[in-house]
């Protein structure tokens, strides 16, 4: 079964229809492949890189574009186990990226340099979730 690596056209259209002029947080859940799968014409094809190696290359090479659009990582963690949810579901990495607005995220993913760098992500990721969230000021109660 193939995982979710990129948004579907309808998901991307729904994202673009939301307001673009307010800060957003993007929750990322990442499951890595044991071995990176680069296409035959990519320089890293056949080099024996792990999915983590490829994902790290993605982070390193795309960092300049991420910073240029005003992005920053606000939280990162390594999931230890599922407390609520499918017991067979696991994630290798989890993080929240903040952008000054959805327009900044769109500028990043359409940047020609980024489109080259994202090939490392595609090579290393088996499954992922990318969830747009609107930051809110916490209330007095838990979870609000």
Q: Where are the domains of the chain?
A: 24-133
Q: For the ranges 55-59, 80-84, 93-97, 136-140, which has the lowest average pLDDT?
A: 136-140
Residue 127: per-residue pLDDT: 95
Dihedral over Cα of 130, 132, 108, 93: its sign: negative
- CA distance linking residue 28 with residue 121, whole number of Å: 12
- pLDDT at site 96: 97
**Averaged pLDDT for residues 43-55:** 97
Give the closest residue to 95 by CA, choosing from 26, 23, 22, 4.
26
Q: Give the whole-number percent of the chain exceeding pLDDT 90.
A: 74
Query: Which residues have CB under 8 Å from 59's CB, separation 6+?
Result: none
Q: φ and ψ at 35, to 5 degrees?
A: -130, 130
Nearest one of 47, 42, 48, 46 to 120, comparing CA atoms:
42
pLDDT at 77 over 80: yes
The Cα–Cα gap between 96 and 35 comes to 25
Whether residue 1 is predicted with pLDDT greater than 50 in this model: the reply is no
For residues 39-52, give the mean pLDDT.
Answer: 97
Looking at CATH, the fold of the domain delimited by 24-133 is given as Alpha-Beta Plaits (3.30.70)
> How confident is the model at residue 2, as a pLDDT?
59
Mean pLDDT of the chain: 93
In contact, 120 and 61? CB cutoff 8 Å: yes
Q: What is the pLDDT of residue 4?
A: 83
């Amino acid at each position: 079964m193939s995982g979710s690596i990129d948004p579907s056209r309808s998901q991307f259209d729904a994202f673009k229809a939301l307001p673009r002029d307010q800060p957003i947080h993007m929750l990322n859940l990442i499951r890595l492949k044991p071995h990176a799968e680069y296409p035959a014409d990519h320089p890293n094809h056949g080099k024996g890189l792990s999915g983590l190696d490829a994902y790290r290359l993605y982070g390193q090479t795309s960092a300049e574009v991420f910073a240029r659009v005003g992005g920053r990582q606000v939280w990162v963690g390594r999931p230890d186990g599922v407390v609520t949810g499918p017991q067979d579901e696991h994630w290798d990495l989890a993080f929240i990226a903040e952008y000054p607005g959805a327009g900044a995220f769109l500028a990043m993913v359409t940047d020609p340099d980024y489109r080259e760098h994202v090939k490392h992500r595609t090579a290393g990721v088996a499954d992922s979730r990318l969830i747009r969230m609107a930051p809110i000021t916490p209330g007095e109660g838990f979870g609000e």
